[in-house]
Amino acid sequence: MSKWFADTFPNVVYQGWTGDTGWLTAIGQTFYMTFGSALFGGILGLIFGMGLIITSSNGISPNRTVFWILDKVVSTFRAVPFIILLAAIAPLTKLIVGTQIGSTAALVPLSLGVFPFYARQIQVALAEVDSGIVEAAQAIGSSFWDIVFGVYLREGRSEIIRVSTVTLISLIGLTAMAGAIGAGGLGTMALSYGYQRYANDTTWLATLLVLVFVLIVQVVGDILAKKFSHK
């Protein structure tokens, strides 16, 4: 079996499992970029998404100016193609992490690339929270933060999990795109070591691993969303 595998997938075997170009290294880099940028971009997106809901005309603290600013920031960043964003903020990336190449450097553009998408997703998810529950909380004298954490985030947690799942899957795709400029991970494996070197078996395996990663995220997200659903 091992001889058949080596003969059928010679380039996959040549890459090895460890080392700078190994498969375990690529998988680890993809995990690192996905969840690292999900943390930073997710926090930023949650803040902006919550801000959009809270300061909207029917929010708990309407503020037309703040809403306009948040909305325009989110819309502007969403309008910039990710591959252009990678190049445009290269100086900022170097200023923050000291380099423009590698998995850690990719965290900056990935975080900035995913946060506007997640902010809109959060805005839509929290808009689904029953306004009657919010009004009831206000009627009994609940504080601002009680409504934010006890109503919006608690009542909307199932939808938040669903949109977080969608965002993670989108982020996996962005990590592959970042791999095109040397960020590492399965994107680099598929493009630099596979496609550009005509090593089709390497490209196929890298693609398969990305699909498996996406499937795992989708299944886990669906299970958690169903668990916390009020329906």
Q: CATH assignment of 16-227, given 2.60.120.10, 3.30.360.10, 1.10.3720.10, 1.10.260.30?
A: 1.10.3720.10
Q: What local confidence, expressed as pLDDT, does residue 215 receive?
A: 93
Nearest in space to 174 (alpha carbons), one of 25, 37, 77, 27? 37
Handedness of CA 225, 211, 99, 92 (dihedral sign): negative
Q: What local confidence, expressed as pLDDT, does residue 167 receive?
A: 92
Kindly state the tokens that stand for 225. Answer: 């969303």
Q: What local confidence, expressed as pLDDT, does residue 90 receive?
A: 82
Nearest in space to 46 (alpha carbons), one of 98, 106, 115, 113? 115
Q: What local confidence, expressed as pLDDT, does residue 119 receive?
A: 94
Say which DSSP state 152 is in.
I
Dist CA 45 CA 35 (whole Å): 14
What is the identity of the amino acid at 199?
A
Kindly state the tokens that stand for 37. Answer: 């940028």
Count the alpha carbons within 13 Å of 52 in the hemisphere toward its beta carbon: 22
pLDDT in tens, 35-65: 999 999 999 999 999 999 999 888 888 999 9
- Residue 187: how many other CB atoms lie within 10 Å: 27
Dist CA 21 CA 116 (whole Å): 32
Kindly state the tokens that stand for 159. Answer: 């939808």
Residues 6+ positions from 91 with CB-CB distance below 8 Å: none
Q: What is the DSSP string of 59-101?
A: SSS--HHHHHHHHHHHHHHHHS-HHHHHHHTHHHHHHHHS-SS
Q: What local confidence, expressed as pLDDT, does residue 9 receive?
A: 65
Domain regions of the chain by residue span: 16-227
Q: What local confidence, expressed as pLDDT, does residue 14 receive?
A: 66
Kindly state the tokens that stand for 109. Answer: 């553009």
Count the alpha carbons within 13 Å of 97 in the hemisphere toward its beta carbon: 14
Say which DSSP state 171 is in.
H
- The pTM of this model reads 0.87
Q: What local confidence, expressed as pLDDT, does residue 64 receive?
A: 92
Cβ pair 146, 51 in contact under 8 A:
no
pLDDT in tens, the chain (231 residues): 566 666 666 777 767 777 777 788 888 888 898 999 999 999 999 999 999 999 988 888 899 999 999 999 999 988 888 888 888 888 888 888 887 778 888 888 899 989 999 999 999 998 888 888 888 888 888 888 888 888 888 888 889 999 999 999 998 888 888 776 677 788 888 777 776 777 788 888 888 988 999 999 999 999 998 887 765
Dist CA 223 CA 38 (whole Å): 19
